[in-house]
Chain A
Amino acid sequence: MKRIISYLNRFFFEEVSATGFGLMRAAWAFSVLFFMLGTAPDVVRYYTEVGILPEDLGYLVFRSEYRFTLLQYITNPQAVIALWSMFMVCLVCMMIGLWPRVMTVICVLLLFSFHERNLQPLGGGDTVLRNFGFILMIAPEVGAFSLSRLEHQWNHWKKTGAYLKPLKTNIWPYRLVLWQFIIIYVTSAWDKLQGSMWMSGTVVEAGFHHTHFVRWSKEVMDGWAWISPYACFYTLLFEFGWLFMLIPRETWHVLPHWLWKHSIKRILIFLSFSFHLGIFIFMDVGSFPFAMTTGFIGLLLDGDWEAFKRMANKKWKGKIIILYDGKCSLCRRSIFMIQLMDVLSRIKPVDFRDSTLLSKHAPDISESNLDRAMHIKTPQGTYFKGFDAFRKLSWHVPSLKLLTPLLYLPGVAPVGRMIYAKIAESRNMCSHGACKI
């Protein structure tokens, strides 16, 4: 009995990283914001009494019971526009993580309200967003990757010089997301088997000629029709593959070694993501690929982040040493941010004002040189300073990687060096978090 209780306790309440749900919160808010902004010109048409669906025609569209929407009570077009605008602001707050818990609850309830007001424009992606939104709303911890958390981190770091412990949460919301995926894919595959075209492999070529969905010209789609049988088979295979996730981890050892030595979940996420990427490239099905990707992020647990780190660091050895001025508050703040973003653990900051540390890590460079600009030392022993150091670092910090190509554009380097020099010169004027630059 004790073993059963312990197993159930682990099954529902095991502590796991809250990173996935924090990122999922941001991705969910981004997806909803992006697609709701698309309805900006149609807010009055879609959601008010003067639009295409007044309440008195609702009997043709709405269910008659268990339906709740704020827009039953707010019907004036101006008031609806105001509510919609407030919704957009809340989504931005939710995305960046300003009061993440409250904003998540408000945004999810507002999404329900707008969706329930008019079902006509809704597609599968909207349903997925509602499903995952509900789980986010009831999840105990959605604060990772938020401004609120950043503020806590900063205050703690200032006081102790250390970061807060990684946020943890119970595993049960993850289980709800996982179950939602199993339901989506397996019932969808089951439904496909009831027709004849999926088994004859002709669905994709028919879909490629439905002008409501295709992104490219008929000539282009004609040329790609040959992938139809392969795509149909692939779809059925990976959709039913999600049934593997019902097998308890404890019994995986009975499967062939080559199968369980890899993470079946990661394989399924990869296959499913590739499928949705393929749909996105060829067809316009609204928010569906975005909504599903949002859910995949919520499926990532500690082991998955570790595996990602191992894969990214496969050919990487050593640390990049950042030599910074420990007496300058701007430099300390920059180091705080860089370390926070160093998810691949490739960076080691060293305060060059500490002579012991300096002689250990960079004996061949003088303090006066270091005083002029931030220096970094690669594991190969090469030094970079100022803007060039930042550019080099950007290769190793995933959240800065989008910037990296821009930093190599012609003309960016001289301007960057100039701006950097100006900031470095005035850095000691910084105090209490404010700088005179």
Chain B
Amino acid sequence: MFYFGQYHSRDIIEPTMQFLRGLTKVSIAIFVVWHVSAIFVYSLYHVEGYPVLEWLNSKRSIVRPYILMTSQWQRWNLFSPNPLRRVIEMEFDQKVDGTWVNVFTLNEDNVSWWQRAPELKIMRRMEDEKFLPLQKRYVEDFCRIHHIPQGTEMRLRKRWHVIPKNETTQNEEWWNNWEPNWKEKELLQLSCPALS
């Protein structure tokens, strides 16, 4: 054992260790409270008319850096407020001898089961007009993976229908008779780029 002047080392080390253990515990507890509060505040939506929730929501900017840096961002609007009723698919056409020929339809039938969720999600997320550069890139990537020669003209069309929003539940017969009302819109035309 070492001696520091008149003190025995145990007299110093023990209380120091105890203090450090206590400090660690307090730090962990503070972190837990912080994490819990941060994800709560960041997950709040539809707070209008509830003063406490509105106030908490106004503090989002405080927790935002922590939530984003730790990849803990989240919003639990699964099938809500109302479920997604818009069903879309995308048609890839290729110009052959001056005529458009449909070469691929991006929908649930033409992607493998393990690619279904991510690939259809990508399609839904680039559907909007403001994502034209993403649609263009998607078609160029289509050219790349299918080895379509440079300069080949391609066209992307969107087809969609909307599942009815019923006020009450319908019986089996009603659904049997229901037919989707498909609509269609051309999104873009481009020439396949050089294969890289």
Contacts and interface: CB of A to CB of B under 8 A. Distances in A.
Interface in A191-224: 191-198, 200-203, 205-207, 209-212, 218-219, 221-223
Given A176-B36, A203-B79, A222-B175, A66 B65 contact: yes
B87 interface: yes
A120 B133 contact: no
A211 B87 contact: yes
B23 interface: no
Interface in B42-68: 43-46, 64-65, 68
Interface stretch (A177-185, A257-265, A388-396, A419-427): A177-185
Given A9-B25, A42-B115, A60-B133, A134 B71 contact: yes
Interface in A285-319: 285-288
A127 interface: yes
Interface string B138-174: 1001001100000000000000000111111111100
Contact of B172 (A190, A198, A225, A286): A225
Contacts of A211: 87, 107-108
Contact of A187 (B44, B65, B116): B44
Given A12-B32, A13-B25, A225-B172, A121 B121 contact: yes
A284 B83 CA distance: 15
B82 interface: yes
B40 interface: yes
Contacts of B4: none
A130 B72 contact: yes
Contacts of B165: 197, 202, 206
A124 interface: yes
Given A9-B25, A172-B32, A188 B82 contact: no
B113 A175 contact: no
B175 A172 contact: no
Given A209-B163, A211-B107, A222 B172 contact: yes
Interface in B109-144: 113-122, 124-126, 130-131, 133-134, 137-138, 141, 144
B40 A183 contact: yes
Contacts of A134: 70-72
Contacts of B119: 42, 121
Question: Interface extent on B, as a size class?
Answer: 35 or more
Given A51-B141, A222-B176, A198 B71 contact: no
Contacts of B72: 130-131, 134
B9 interface: no
A298 to B, nearest CB: 15
A199 to B, nearest CB: 10
A116 B73 CA distance: 11
B141 A45 contact: yes
A319 B93 CA distance: 70
B181 interface: no
A252 interface: no
A172 B120 contact: no
Interface residues of A, number: 81
A431 to B, nearest CB: 46
A8 B25 CA distance: 10
A121 B121 CA distance: 6
Interface in B67-89: 68-74, 76-85, 87
B39 interface: yes
B29 interface: yes
A53 B134 CA distance: 7
Nearest to A61: B134
B18 interface: no
B117 A41 contact: no
A210 B167 contact: no
A219 to B, nearest CB: 8
A222 B43 CA distance: 35
Given A66-B68, A210-B84, A210-B85, A120 B169 contact: no
Contacts of B6: none
B118 A121 contact: yes
A183 B122 contact: no
Given A131-B72, A172-B28, A183 B43 contact: yes
Contacts of B83: 197, 203, 206-207, 210
A192 B81 contact: yes
Contacts of B78: 124, 188, 288
B196 interface: yes
Nearest to A66: B68
A38 B114 contact: yes
A284 B170 contact: no
A66 B107 CA distance: 34
Contacts of B166: 200, 202, 205-206
Interface string A39-62: 101100110001111100100110
Contacts of B74: 127, 131, 183-184
Contacts of B46: 190-191, 194
Pairs of residues from A and B, 4 with the lowest C-beta to C-beta distance, nearest first: A195-B81, A121-B118, A286-B117, A38-B114
Interface of B: 25, 28-29, 32, 35-36, 39-40, 43-46, 64-65, 68-74, 76-85, 87, 107-108, 113-122, 124-126, 130-131, 133-134, 137-138, 141, 144-145, 163-172, 175-176, 178, 196
26 contacts: A12-B28, A38-B115, A42-B115, A60-B130, A60-B133, A61-B134, A65-B65, A68-B69, A115-B71, A121-B118, A122-B121, A187-B76, A190-B46, A191-B81, A192-B79, A196-B82, A198-B81, A198-B82, A201-B168, A206-B166, A207-B83, A210-B87, A218-B175, A225-B170, A225-B171, A286-B121
Given A12-B28, A198-B82, A203-B79, 9 more contacts: A50-B144, A57-B137, A183-B74, A187-B44, A191-B46, A206-B166, A210-B163, A218-B175, A287-B117
